[in-house]
Amino acid sequence: YLSLYLSLSLSISLSLSPSISLSISLSLSLPLSLSMKHSLTFTLDSKVLPFDLTEYASYLYDWIKEVENYAKATLPADTFNFSPLYESQMNFSNEANKLMAEVNAVSGNDFYTIRRLNDKLMFTERAFLDFQGLKGRTWLRHSVLAPSQYDSYTGVAFPSLSDAIFEKDVDEINFQIKYLSLFIDSAANWMHGDCLLYTSPSPRDS
């Protein structure tokens, strides 16, 4: 299973001479498994959130494969079908490649272009939140990663699906496969759509 934890570090430096300057850097490290580590580092000078969705797409594939292998080791293979999850992951991956190509091509200081891209990045991740909460644990809302219900010291991918496999509940397994694919498709739709959810006046030139 996945070992999930967060580490956060913040550094601030201030120089008052010969000229006043302020530098703030924030480093967020999110190890998603014993063999994967995703790090985000940004400063006040960053224009677009440093969130690599192509890497996220790769993780999604690995997590789906991991849970499928768990299911195969637990139940007969003809009792479930992971195809909807793989199809949704492929859709997510295609949209991620398009969006990250646009992000990498950003130049200049076009406020609305940068804001639109940041909205897409932010709300793509938010699309994975289940606001009804996980089954039996409504205080947990992330549909992809959460602590294991049966081992609070470890994290699992697709927790509701993993729980159903542990319980050998075939109907719930097949329901969760289809249900979770909707979250992945929803995230892909955020990347595909032209969203600028919260508009505000363009910054004035000083």
pLDDT band at 131 (very low <50, low <70, confident <90, very high): confident
Which of 14-23, 45-54, 73-82 has the largest mean confidence?
A: 73-82
What is the token pair recorded at 26?
């924030």
88-108 pLDDT tens trace: 999 999 999 999 998 888 877
Residues 6+ apart with CB under 8 A from 63: 2, 144, 157, 158
- Strand segments (E) across the chain: 7-15, 21-33, 36-43, 145-147, 155-157
Q: Report how far apart the first and last C-alpha atoms of the chain are (Å, whole number).
A: 52
pLDDT band at 67 (very low <50, low <70, confident <90, very high): very high
Percentage, residues of the chain above pLDDT 90: 38
How many degrees, rounded to 5, is the angle at CA 49 between CA 141 and CA 2? 40
The pLDDT assigned to 58 comes to 94
Mean pLDDT to the nearest integer, 38-44: 44
196-205 pLDDT tens trace: 443 333 333 3
How high does pLDDT run on average in the chain? Answer: 75
pLDDT band at 59 (very low <50, low <70, confident <90, very high): very high
What is the token pair recorded at 62?
């690995």
Look at 16-20, 142-146, 152-156, 186-190 and tell me which has the smallest mean pLDDT.
Answer: 16-20
Cis peptide leading into 203, omega within 30 of 0?
no
- For residues 205 and 66, what is the distance between their CA atoms, to the nearest angstrom? 51
Residue type, 40: L
Q: Which residues is 147 bridged to in the sheet?
A: 155
